[in-house]
Structures are given as C-alpha cells and as structure tokens.
C-alpha cells in the first residue's frame, strides 16, 4: 500500500517539473519588434489597399 502512495507522489512531482519546463517555453514574453515601425504608414498602406478613405486624419 505504501508503494502506491510513493509512486503517485513521484509521478506527481515528475508531472509538475515537466509542466514548469514546458510552460515556460510556450509563454509569451514581451519583446519589442526589431527595427522602426510607423503605425501611421501601416494604417495608410492598409487603407489604400482596401480603397477606403481615412476619415480620421487630423
């Protein structure tokens, strides 16, 4: 009966350790995008591709 409890405990520890290692690899880390990014140029390009006029220009 003791071996069942010990094996369940060992299996639980193994699952917890694997969960920590695999969970860290899948996590999203906040990183900035390399290079320069202009949202205004992106928005202008996307709107012009769709044939929509930008009514929100200042």
18, 10 in Cβ contact below 8 A?
Answer: no
Segments making up each domain of the chain, as ranges: 1-27
CB-based contacts of 44, cutoff 8 Å, min separation 6: 54
pLDDT confidence of residue 29: 64
pLDDT tens for 6-55 read 999 999 999 988 888 777 665 566 666 677 888 888 888 888 888 776 66
Question: Measured between alpha carbons, how far is residue 7 from residues 11, 14, 34 in Å?
Answer: 6, 10, 48
* Phi, psi of 36, rounded to the nearest 5 degrees: -90, 135
């Amino acid at each position: 009966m003791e071996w069942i409890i010990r094996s369940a405990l060992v299996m639980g520890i193994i699952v917890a350790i694997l969960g920590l290692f695999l969970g860290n690899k899948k996590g999203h880390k906040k990183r900035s995008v390399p290079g320069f990014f202009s949202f205004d140029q992106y928005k202008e390009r996307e709107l012009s591709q769709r044939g929509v006029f930008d009514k929100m220009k200042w």
